[in-house]
Amino acid sequence: MEGKIKELRAQIEELAGKVAQIDELKDVRFKYLSKNGAIPALMKQLGSLSKEERPAAGKIINEFKVWATELFDKKEEELGKKALEMRYIKEAVDVTMPSKKSKAGHLHPVTLVRNELIDAFTGMGFTVFEGPEIEDDFHNFTALNVSADHPARDKQDTFYINDDLLLRTHTSPGQVRAMETMKPPFKIVSPGRVFRCDDDGTHAPMFHQMEGLVIDKNLSLCDLQGLLDTLAKTVFDKDTKTRFRPSFFPFTEPSVEVDVTCCECHGAGCSLCKGTGWIEILGGGVVNRNVIKNCGLDPDEWTGLAFGTGLDRIAMLKYGVNNIHLLYDGDVRILSQFRK
Ligand code: PHE
């Protein structure tokens, strides 16, 4: 028995000295200490000894078992520590290393222009009023005094959904919805997407406008001039001048088209303004009495000022973009240039 123990002890010492992984150690421990392992097998041999020999032999085997268990435990602790140290080394993070730059997004140039205008107008007491992109004929045309035979109603110009519903062709239906729902006097701006069957270098089937509407008593074209002058100076620079040219819109009377001094040459004349020194940026006027009536207000009591401007056009002028599609193709080489 003692010879056998000596042999096993030597084997265990050798194996335990060699193993480098916890898993291997577990295999060795299993081989010697599990129920059918070599050490319990010694216990089973006790039965073949004489009664007198048994207690002493049992004690020796037990001591051997305790020795082996302690050896494996110690080895396991050692290997565990070593594995942890290796992991610390492998997973170490050098906090002094520069981090990878994450690519943050930024606002689209049209959004920048929209936000600037909203800022300027809310500063003057305007609120933002948003209308739906799918409109009906009444809000997009009829209430705005657009006659039944007006070319804008043509199916070649407007995206119709059915005989009554269409994708709004301008933000002016926002005027109608504001007058229908708000109690005058009020001042609103209504920014949003608009749609027209149009597609070339300076026109896209989807673009953005911002409508402005003031409803109050005794408003005149002079008030509009002051407002739009502020708008121009906000978007371009404070030296920008505005001028009104007579125009026609069914929903305003009188109607004007508004030019600003060219942002490129400041009025001297260049290719952008075709030598005139002026660039058209919006349409506006005094709200037509018929429109006020169509929206349920008394035109003898209330007067209105309205204007509408193209946000994409302003962004293009302001940032020197010569093709509207560059704004919408999603090319990050273009769009990332507008990071502030
Ligand atoms: N809705 C007009 C357009 O799309 C612009 C406009 C708005 C003109 C308000 C007058 C008053 O061109």
What's the pLDDT score for residue 145? 96
Sign of CA dihedral 161, 165, 169, 170: negative
What's the pLDDT score for residue 338? 85
Residues 329 and 105: their CA atoms lie apart, in Å, by: 16
pLDDT tens string 241-287: 999 999 999 999 999 999 999 988 888 999 888 999 999 999 999 99
- Out of 249, 281, 282, mutate this one to test ligand 1's pocket (max ligand atoms within 8 Å of CB): namely 249
Q: Closest Cα to atom 9, ligand 1: which residue?
A: 307
Residues 236 and 234: their CA atoms lie apart, in Å, by: 6
Residue 340 has pLDDT above 80, yes or no: no
Residues 46 and 57: their CA atoms lie apart, in Å, by: 7
What's the pLDDT score for residue 30? 93
Kindly give, in sequence order, each residue whose CB lies less than 8 Å from that of residue 248, ignoring residues fewer than 6 positions away.
255
Q: What is the DSSP string of 113-133?
A: HHHHHHHHHHTTT-EE----S
Residue 7 has pLDDT above 80, yes or no: yes
pLDDT tens string 187-225: 999 999 999 999 988 899 999 999 999 999 999 999 999
Query: How many Å lie between the centroid of ligand 1 and the Cα of residue 265?
Result: 27
Query: How many Å lie between the centroid of ligand 1 and the Cα of residue 43?
Result: 102
Pocket-forming residues, ligand 1, beta carbon under 6 Å:
170, 172, 211, 249, 252, 283-285, 306-308
Per-residue tokens: 159: 């995206």
What's the pLDDT score for residue 156? 87
Would you say the pTM of this structure is higher than 0.75?
A: no
* Average pLDDT of the residues of the chain: 93
- Strand, helix or coil at 210? strand
Residue 1 has pLDDT above 80, yes or no: no
Q: Closest Cα to atom 6, ligand 1: which residue?
A: 308
What's the pLDDT score for residue 99? 86
The CA distances from residue 224 to 188, 212, 214, 220, in Å, are 14, 10, 9, 7
pLDDT tens string 31-50: 999 999 999 988 888 888 88
Per-residue tokens: 265: 């040459």
Query: How many Å lie between the centroid of ligand 1 and the Cα of residue 153?
Result: 15
Of 187-196, 230-239, 304-313, give the lowest mean pLDDT range: 230-239
- Out of 169, 251, 255, mutate this one to test ligand 1's pocket (max ligand atoms within 8 Å of CB): namely 251
Q: Which of 20, 3, 162 is nearest to 78 (CA)?
A: 20
What's the pLDDT score for residue 197? 95
Residue 227 has pLDDT above 80, yes or no: yes
Of 22-26, 151-155, 317-321, 322-326, give the lowest mean pLDDT range: 151-155
pLDDT tens string 136-189: 999 999 999 998 888 888 888 999 999 999 999 999 999 999 999 999 999 999
Q: What's the rounded mean pLDDT across residues 61-77?
A: 92
What's the pLDDT score for residue 339? 78
Q: Closest Cα to atom 4, ligand 1: which residue?
A: 170
282, 222 in Cβ contact below 8 A?
A: no
256, 229 in Cβ contact below 8 A?
A: no
pLDDT tens string 85-118: 999 999 998 889 998 888 888 999 999 999 999 9
Q: What's the rounded mean pLDDT across residues 7-26?
A: 90
